[in-house]
Amino acid sequence: MKVTKRSMFTGEIRELELPCTPEQFADWNNGTLIQDAFPTLTAAQREYLLTGAWGDEWDTYIREPEEEEEELG
pLDDT in tens, the chain (73 residues): 999 999 999 999 999 999 999 999 999 999 999 999 999 999 989 999 999 998 888 778 776 655 555 555 5
HSE-up (13 A, CA, CB side) for residue 62: 18
Q: What is the pTM of this model?
A: 0.78
Structurally, the chain folds into a number of domains equal to: 1
d(CA 21, CA 72): 42
Range of the domain at 33: 2-72
d(CA 62, CA 7): 12
